[in-house]
Amino acid sequence: MDFFEQGLLSLGAVCERSWHDRLEVLAEGDGARLWRKEGELFSGELNFRDSGAAETQDPQVEVFPGCPLTFQLVEALWHRLLAHSRVCLSTGIGVKAPSPEVADKLWQAQFGTRAGWQTTPFVPVWAFSVVAAVRCEVQAIDQSWSSHRLAFTLPEGERDSSLEFTLDQMSPLDPVGEKPAWPTLDLAKVSAWIGRALSTELAPELTKIKERQELFLRRELSRIDEYFEHYARELSERLGWQRKEESIKRQADRLDATRAEHHRRRTDQIERHTIHLLSHVDALLTVAEPGFLTKVSWRTGREERIVPALFVPRTRRWHSRELATRDSKTKE
């Protein structure tokens, strides 16, 4: 109810709580378009139902988990905001660097023990991440929607779950001194990162949907196969009784048409039971925060390895494009 009241007020509507679960709304323009396509005046009372209540009687004025009104309000609010924005989580990059012992311990926990591990002096830099607000639509027998906040480090695209959960508690600040050199987003890469993250998050739900779809599909295909196989067998028997060439051709054409229709019906059912996963990226937020750039070296046998690496104090994690690329190739 807080979200609806604040959201509608930001769209210019007048709201008043008439009861603990009811909200009176008077809206026009953008606010009224949730109910009136032309933005004409809307006056009504919204009823906020419990998740365990009976099925809705009027989805236009009843609000419940996953209801269409919620997503329509979100879309209306996003249309008033920038599709891509930037924010700093610190006034500057002068954060204290980790001690060599702490840096070594965190590196070993993340990448494993390295013989002769050491770093060059830490250089303060801006570390960047991108956060995506994504709505996901699953089109199946039962249509469902879900909302996701997905964060990835730049430029590697490593998932940053910490930023996803703590972003609401972080306050944007105006940087003092050295300003961030904001990176240009590679939207193709961001799209791929979002796709992989959604596949992971939705895997349990999609497994259940797939099992239900397959059950219904097998039932429909069995019904279609039984009908057309019986009909084709009957036509084949009739074809064996014919003696005239014209009658034989007519029955053969009917048999061919039956087989074609059988194939068409099967294809139609498979398409009807196909699961479609559609993602809608509503907004992208590029985040800048303090980090430390260094070069990490260690020995592998007689060979010395040197890789550039970035340490982010907020997450206490290391980021190395070279190691991330090598690990990705190893997995493949």
The percentage of residues in the chain with a pLDDT greater than 90, rounded to a whole number, is: 19
Quote the percentage of the chain above a pLDDT of 70: 92
Q: What is the mean pLDDT of the chain?
A: 84
115 closest CA partner among 278, 271, 297, 247: 297
Q: What is the pLDDT of residues 260-317, one digit of tens each?
A: 988 999 898 888 888 888 888 888 999 999 899 999 888 877 788 888 989 998 888 8
In single-letter form, the type of residue at position 32 comes to A
Residue 313 to residue 111: CA distance in whole angstroms? 17
Taking 70 as the threshold, does the pLDDT of residue 53 lie above it?
A: no
Are 256 and 291 in a shared domain? no
192 against 243, higher pLDDT: 192
- Backbone φ and ψ for 308, nearest 5 degrees, come out as -70, 145
Domain identity same for 231 and 265: yes
Q: Same structural domain for residues 229 and 254?
A: yes
Residues near 305 by Cβ (< 8 Å), separated by ≥ 6? 297, 298, 299
Q: How many Cα atoms occupy the beta-carbon half-sphere of 182 within 13 Å?
A: 12
User: Largest Cα–Cα distance of the chain, in whole Å?
Assistant: 98
The pLDDT tens digits of the residues spanning 194-203 come to 999 998 998 8
Q: Which range has the top average pLDDT, 49-63, 161-175, 185-199, 292-306?
A: 185-199
Q: Residue 240 in contact with residue 255, Cβ under 8 Å?
A: no
Phi, psi of 283, rounded to the nearest 5 degrees: -160, 150
116-129 average pLDDT score? 89
Q: Would residue 192 count as lying in a domain? A: no
Whole-number Cα distances in Å, 54 to 49, 72, 274, 303, 321: 9, 22, 30, 69, 52
Considering the domain architecture, whether residues 21 and 72 belong to the same structural domain is answered as: yes
Given this model, what pLDDT does residue 66 score? Answer: 75
Tell me the pLDDT band of 332, cut-offs 50, 70 and 90: very low
Q: Let me know if residue 201 belongs to a domain.
A: no
Please tell me the total count of domains within the chain.
3
In angstroms, rounded to a whole number, what is the distance separating the alpha carbons of residues 120 and 108? Answer: 17
Task: Over range 77-82, report the average pLDDT.
Answer: 73
User: In which domain, by residue range, is 252 found?
Assistant: 206-275
